[in-house]
Amino acid sequence: MIDKDRIPQHIAIIMDGNGRWAEARGLNRSRGHQAGAESVDKITSECARLGVKFLTLYTFSTENWNRPAAEVDAIMKLLLSNLVEETFMNNNVRLRIVGDRSRVSENVIQAVEEMEERTAQNDRMTLVLAFSYSSRWEITDAMRKIAARVKAGTLCPDDINEHTVAQELDSSFAPDPELIIRTGGEQRISNFLLWQSAYSELYFTPTFWPDFNEQSLHAAIEDYQHRERRFGKTSAQVNNL
Ligand code: IPE
Ligand code: IPE
Ligand code: MG
């Protein structure tokens, strides 16, 4: 059973395994992404219900631009068809996108930004889609902004600290995720939230993303709740012994 009083504020998920899920069924990889979109709906509703405040989903990485054009196209279309205003409104969920918008086509960006605006007042949970995202891109972009502030004379290099960097990240509005889940069996980070994951608890499951359901989410949260988060201290210190 999960402890309702210790739900992570921010859960981030690397949604992997759509392609293998489809291939195992003799289906086109795009069908796997379609099935994955249903998991997105399920997990978003369940996180909102549990009281999670931020859910970040790794939807499309900078590196994913290198996939075959037909697959990239299918993912873009899927994103567009899944931006349903009613779903966000019914769940009182706000949408925010993080990533390199300059590489995304105009019609996709327009639809996304419209939904960000329309849902801006929703305050039960924020759904963050990491789209055309990579953490190295995000950190590099932050560095560029910091350099510009120094050049403009509004920031002194000696005053640059962790907070300055965190503030300039595209995802600066969200707290660091307490829990990062990766589905699909790979045990790597694939350029996701490198800065923000400094002290995140990592949870890997072989379950392909289209098979990941409410029960799987509960299992991940339960596992997280059994971890001791020490942040460099000793066990005795964190337990006030
Ligand atoms: C994750 O599933 C979704 C995206 C990267 C867009 P994959 O498409 O990577 O699925 P596998 O890893 O090939 O099974
Ligand atoms: C990571 O999945 C990106 C997303 C889930 C969007 P990939 O399937 O692209 O990761 P790698 O390249 O196998 O590490
Ligand atoms: Mg993959």
- Cα gap 31→38, rounded to integer Å: 11
- In this prediction, residue 28 carries a pLDDT of 96
What is the average per-residue pLDDT within 138-144?
A: 98
What is the average per-residue pLDDT within 42-62?
A: 98
- In this prediction, residue 152 carries a pLDDT of 98
- In this prediction, residue 76 carries a pLDDT of 97
Atom of ligand 2 nearest to the CA of 130: 6
pLDDT tens figures, 83-111 = 999 999 999 999 999 999 999 999 999 99
Q: Which amino acid is at 205?
A: T
Query: Residue 81 Cα, ligand 2 centroid: separation in angstroms?
Result: 22
Element at 61 (helix H, strand E): strand 54-61
Query: Can you list the domains of the chain with their CATH numbers?
Result: 4-134+176-225 (3.40.1180.10)
- At 33 the three-state DSSP class reads helix
What is the average per-residue pLDDT within 44-54?
A: 97
Max Cα separation, the chain? 59
14 lines ligand 2 (CB under 6 A): yes
Residue whose Cα lies nearest atom 6 of ligand 1: it is 60
Q: What is the percent of the chain where pLDDT is above 70?
A: 100
- Residue 44: count other Cβ atoms within 10 Å of its Cβ: 19
**Residues 28/73, Cβ–Cβ less than 8 Å:** no
- In this prediction, residue 125 carries a pLDDT of 98
pLDDT tens figures, 170-221 = 999 999 999 999 999 999 999 999 999 999 999 999 999 999 999 999 999 9
Q: Which residue has the tokens 């899944």?
A: 82
Nearest to 46 by CA among 11, 16, 70, 76: 11
Q: What is the percent of the chain where pLDDT is above 90?
A: 100
Best residue among 14, 18, 21, 31 to mutate for probing ligand 1's pocket (most ligand atoms within 8 Å of CB) is 18
**Residues 219/52, Cβ–Cβ less than 8 Å:** no
Instruction: Judge whether 16 counts as a catalytic residue.
Output: yes
Ligand closest to 61 (CA) is 2
64 lines ligand 1 (CB under 6 A): yes
Atom of ligand 1 nearest to the CA of 15: 1
Average pLDDT, the chain: 97
First-to-final CA distance of the chain: 27
